[in-house]
């Protein structure tokens, strides 16, 4: 069968719908962010309990957050100048929105980028089309990229509180994302390292360590009993 553009986009759309339904199911059932890869399941909260993951994410986020951010006006290529005193300067270098400083915004962006593979924020405009603030999406893991039958990319914000999901066009969001394998869905480092992270978590978790020791002790006791019965029976 010939792969026409219409068939390609329809298959892409159907796949996006299946991914959306899986995400909805996970959010409804667990209310947490769940990733699966090769049969291994990992959550962000579980990954962040691993000392190396937490330390790396924290160090990188805080380092990026402390970097100075400057705004430049390049409307005249021959005379690029640094902007220091208008509303855009405040939004892009000091306080992107009412409840976050630029440092907090950059830390949030870096952590989301490293955990989920992308960071999403919503620019708010005034009646004249001027940007007023940039508000980060609170639950980054609930943004689901999709594609319609015509090849248009859009994003759904799915929650488990009974509210209708929100739909954003690609031009309506501020997006910082990692590379993709399908053109629209950013790759999550946590998802693609689920097997390794699960093994590390099982090693570091004190409860699992206790269970392994108890299991080993039980196995040794069983072997000892069998040997004693073999030697002293008959």
What's the confidence (pLDDT) of residue 151? 86
H-helix or E-strand containing 167? strand 166-169
Question: For the chain, what's the residue count?
Answer: 234
On whether the CB atoms of residues 30 and 162 are closer than 8 A, the answer is no
Average pLDDT (17-35) is: 49
H-helix or E-strand containing 174? strand 174-177
Chain segment 171-210, per-residue pLDDT in tens: 999 999 988 888 888 888 887 777 777 767 666 665 555 5
What's the confidence (pLDDT) of residue 188? 86
Q: For CA atoms 29, 51, 99, 114, give the dihedral sign.
A: negative
Rg (alpha carbons) of the chain, rounded to whole number: 25
3-class DSSP assignment, residue 200? helix
Report the predicted TM-score, pTM, of the whole model to 2 decimal places: 0.68
Of 4-18, 24-38, 179-193, highest mean pLDDT: 179-193
Q: Which residues are 186's β-sheet partners? A: 180
The conformation of residue 97, written as its DSSP 8-state character, comes to B
Separation between Cα atoms, residue 234 and residue 228, nearest integer Å: 12
Using 50, 70 and 90 to split pLDDT, how confident is the model at 48? confident
Average pLDDT (51-63) is: 90
Chain segment 125-152, per-residue pLDDT in tens: 999 989 999 999 988 988 989 888 888 8
The pLDDT mean for the chain works out to: 78
**63-67, 120-124, 201-205, 223-227: lowest mean pLDDT where?**
223-227
On whether the CB atoms of residues 189 and 115 are closer than 8 A, the answer is yes
């Amino acid at each position: 069968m010939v792969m026409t553009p219409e068939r390609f986009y329809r298959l892409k759309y159907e796949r996006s719908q299946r991914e959306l339904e899986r995400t909805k199911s996970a959010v409804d059932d667990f209310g947490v962010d769940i990733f699966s890869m090769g049969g291994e399941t990992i959550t962000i909260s579980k990954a962040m309990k691993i000392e190396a993951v937490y330390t790396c994410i924290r160090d990188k986020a805080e380092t990026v957050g402390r970097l100075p951010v400057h705004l430049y006006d390049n409307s005249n290529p021959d005379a690029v100048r640094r902007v220091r005193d208008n509303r855009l300067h405040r939004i892009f270098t000091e306080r992107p929105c009412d409840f976050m400083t630029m440092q907090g915004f950059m830390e949030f962006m870096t952590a989301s980028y490293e955990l989920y593979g992308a960071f999403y924020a919503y620019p708010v405009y005034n009646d004249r089309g001027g940007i007023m603030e940039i508000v980060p999406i609170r639950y980054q893991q609930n943004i689901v990229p999709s594609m319609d039958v015509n090849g248009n990319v859009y994003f759904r914000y799915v929650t488990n509180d009974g509210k209708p999901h929100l739909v954003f066009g690609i031009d309506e969001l501020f997006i910082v994302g990692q590379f993709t394998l399908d053109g629209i869905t950013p790759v999550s480092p946590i998802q693609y390292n689920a097997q390794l992270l699960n093994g590390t978590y099982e090693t570091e978790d004190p409860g699992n360590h206790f269970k392994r020791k108890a299991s080993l002790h039980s196995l040794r006791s069983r072997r000892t009993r069998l040997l004693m019965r073999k030697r002293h029976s008959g």
